[in-house]
Amino acid sequence: MSELSPFLLYFVAALLVAFTRGLPRQVILLATPVVTGLHLWLNIELGTTVTHAVMSYELITLRVDKLSLLFGYLFCIASFIAGIFSLHVKDTKQHVAGVMYAGSALGAVFAGDLITLFIFWELLAISSVFLIWARGTERALKAGMRYLVFQVLSGVLLLAGALVYFHDSGSLAFDHIGLEAGVAGWLIFIAFGIKSAFPFLHSWLTDGYPEATVTGTVFLSAFTTKVAVYALARGFAGEEILVYIGVTMACFPIFYAVIENDLRKVLAYSLINQVGFMVTGIGIGTALALNGAIAHAFSDVIFKGLLFMTMGAVLYRAGNINGSDLGGLYKSMPKTTVLCIIGALSISAFPLFSGFVSKSMVMTALMHEDYGYLWLFMLFASAGVFHHAGIKIPYFAFFAHDSGIRTEEAPRNMLIAMTIAAVLCIFIGTQPQYLYALLPWEVKYWPYDVTHVLAQLQLLFFSALAFVWLNKKGLYPPELPSVNLDMEWFYRKLMPVGAQQTVAFLRRAKMSALSVVTAPMQGVQTEFAKSSVAKYYLSESWPTGSMVFWISAILAAFLVLDAFG
């Protein structure tokens, strides 16, 4: 039993979900993560590896250490919560995709070699895109296609990198790779980078996630980027370039988040910002920083899931998720409001909430390694998170001006799922020792001391004060129905428009080239027609028919001469 790979339980469950309806299906949806979680907890031991020989390669489908096990627990919790949240959904496609997707994430984190990782990497891509397509709109269909192109590209790069790596080192083992592995290292690094939404490679996330279904986005937010964070922590810990990439990721999306109108897209930008903290931690590479990155991935899946759930509930009830059209929903959805505020406090790293105990590890590690200016940037990003995710999301959805929308509280299953996530946020925030005990590296760290709490409270309260002040002064940018140009502009506008322009240009070039050739010919003809020779019969232009007739006559004459000659 201890050698059973957890993803198998999910894949079998996906099959069962496809053929059941109603209560049995709901039982399977909820039992799968629970059974898998218990299996990980009770049966699977650290150090277990399961290998299969396929042709001449050794594929490792199960490699258990503290790092993979922590992500295993996390993905079971995430799929359990998302499962409850989507229990009311009747669409079979979405349920199968959700279970397959979570199973693929488990497969990827327990994969011990690059080929197995690649297989689950692609399964993640293919299963998740159905959560976008299931929305059923034209927009979702197109956004899903663009999302899939990025995801598959990431897979192709991973496979190419794996093959080069095998060629160079003779090994397919997925351990520390590092950029010193040359071309192979870079190929794999960029493959991981696409899935972790590195700057310039991030637009699949902000483009795709807001188009997914109400429940689909909750699944999406949990798995893809966190598998990538896991992969970076395993393969590229301590690569200094990641520190700079991570700081950029933490900083640039918050500007977009401030002016974005679609509140689920605000959360998508804030997801990149949070992954930035993890990537920075991985780049620093000390035990404290790596633990911080992993711990932050753990808390992020839960609080970001909670925030996406509350916004999903709003979209489900109000039928709209644009900040410009919402407001005053605390009157009809008071419970969702409270749960959203708990998520907002957690992502903002308020003391006693989960973000505080994990993000502070990365910040402290930056300080220990003396990254002074980068630390200031990250502090800026921390204040910015509170601004856009902590205040803007709850404020524009539930408070602000009363939009007049009166609706019902979120359905019961959604409330239960959100409550579980909220309780976990507070539990991790107040009892961090349990999360710390699961972390892969041995570090003594405790987030609650006077300095830390006071500094963080000052930072957050004065960020809030800035919001209040800007609002009172009327300086705060209003929510406007709009889109903001981002990286996707290059392939959604520049390339199509560029292609059209090129075709139009070539057509014009062809016309002018033709006229260059035909105009002199016509000129010669008109000149010839004016000349005195033109009046003779033979100089006229003949119809093709008469030409064919005369050629036939000549050929016939030749035939006759030949017959008698």
CB of 93 or CB of 406, closer to another protein: 406
Q: Whose Cβ is closer to another protein: residue 124's or residue 143's?
A: 143
What CA–CA distance (Å, rounded) separates 13 from 375?
A: 45
Binding residue for another protein (CB under 8 A) from 41, 57, 446, 461?
Answer: 461
Supply 176's token pair.
């520390």
Is the Cβ of residue 412 or residue 493 nearer to another protein in the bound state?
493
x-or-dash string of contact with another protein, 405-444, rule CB under 8 A? -x--------------------------------------
Assess 189 for contact with another protein (CB under 8 A).
no
Work out how close the CB of 94 gets to another protein at its nearest, in angstroms, rounded to a whole number: 25
Beta bridge partners, 58, equal 53
Read off the amino acid at residue 307.
L
Site for another protein contains 455 (CB under 8 A): yes
Instruction: Provide CB contacts within 8 A for 290, sequence distance 6+.
Output: 233, 237, 281, 282, 284, 440, 441
User: Given the complex with another protein, which of 49 and 458 has the nearer CB atom?
Assistant: 458
Q: What is the 3-state secondary structure (H, E, C) of 83-111?
A: HHHCCCCCCHHHHHHHHHHHHHHHHHHHC
Q: Which of 482, 501, 502, 515 binds another protein (CB under 8 A)?
A: 482
Residue-wise DSSP of 16-72:
HHHH--HHHHHHHHHHHHHHHHHIIIII--TT-EEEEEETTEEEEEEE--HHHHHHH
Count of residues near another protein by CB under 8 A: 50
Residue in 23, 437, 475, 516 binding another protein, rule: CB under 8 A: 475
Tokens standing for 515? 């006229």
Given a contact cutoff of 8 angstroms between Cβ atoms, the answer to whether 328 and 398 are in contact is yes
Among 11, 399, 427, 445, which residue interacts with another protein (rule: CB under 8 A)? 399
Considering only 27, 34, 183, 468, the residue that binds another protein (CB under 8 A) is 468
Q: What is the distance between the alpha carbons of residues 273 and 246, in angstroms, rounded to a whole number?
A: 8
Of 298 and 371, which CB lies nearer to another protein in the complex structure? 371
Task: Tell me how far apart the alpha carbons of residues 77 and 154 are, in angstroms, rounded to a whole number.
Answer: 26
Of 42, 145, 423, 465, the one binding another protein by CB under 8 A:
465
The tokens describing 143, both together, are 């956004």
483 scored as a contact of another protein (CB under 8 A): yes
Could you say which of 5, 79, 224, 456 contacts another protein (CB under 8 A)?
A: 456
Task: For another protein, give the closer residue by CB, 473 or 535.
Answer: 473
Give the C-alpha distances (Å, rounded to integers) separating 512 from 211, 334, 518: 45, 68, 10
Name the one range near another protein by CB under 8 A: 103-111, 293-301, 407-415, 486-494.
Answer: 486-494
> Can you give the C-alpha Rg of the chain in angstroms?
31
Within residues 533-552, the interface with another protein by CB under 8 A covers: none
CA distances from 556 to 36, 224, 238, 299 (A): 91, 79, 90, 95
Concatenate the DSSP letters of all residues of 216-259 into one string.
Answer: HHHHHHHHHHHHHHHHHHHH-TT-THHHHHHHHHHHHHHHHHHH
Q: Mark 330-369 with x for binding to another protein (rule: CB under 8 A) and - for no binding.
A: xx-----------------------------------x--
d(CA 407, CA 335): 13
Distance from C-alpha of 395 to C-alpha of 60, rounded to nearest angstrom: 48
Alpha-carbon distances, residue 73 vs 70, 160, 438 (angstroms) = 5, 30, 10
Q: How far is the CB of 273 from another protein (least distance, A)?
A: 12
Token pair belonging to 74: 């996390």
> Residue 258 interacts with another protein (CB under 8 A)?
yes
Residue at 400: amino acid letter: A
The answer to the question of residue 255 lying near another protein (CB under 8 A) is yes
Exposed/middle/buried for 66, CB within 10 Å: 0-12, 13-18, 19+? middle
Nearer Cβ to another protein, position 376 or 554? Answer: 376
Query: Contact letters (x/-) for another protein, 374-393, by CB under 8 A?
Result: -xx--xx--xx--x------
Q: Which is nearer to another protein, 468 or 511 (CB)?
A: 468
**Which of these ranges, 50-58, 231-239, 421-429, 451-459, lies near another protein under the rule CB under 8 A?**
451-459
In the set 485, 547, 557, 560, which binds another protein (CB under 8 A)?
485
CB of 62 to another protein, least distance (A): 42
Q: Name the residue nearer to another protein (CB basis): 167 or 331.
A: 331
The verdict on 493 binding another protein (CB under 8 A) reads yes
Of the pair 457, 551, the CB lying nearest another protein is at 457
Judged by CB under 8 A, the residue of 450, 517, 521, 561 near another protein is 450
Rounded-to-integer distance, Cα 425 and Cα 299, Å: 7
Residues that bind another protein (CB under 8 A): 254-256, 258-259, 330-331, 367, 372, 375-376, 379-380, 383-384, 387, 399, 406, 449-451, 454-470, 475-477, 480-486, 492-493
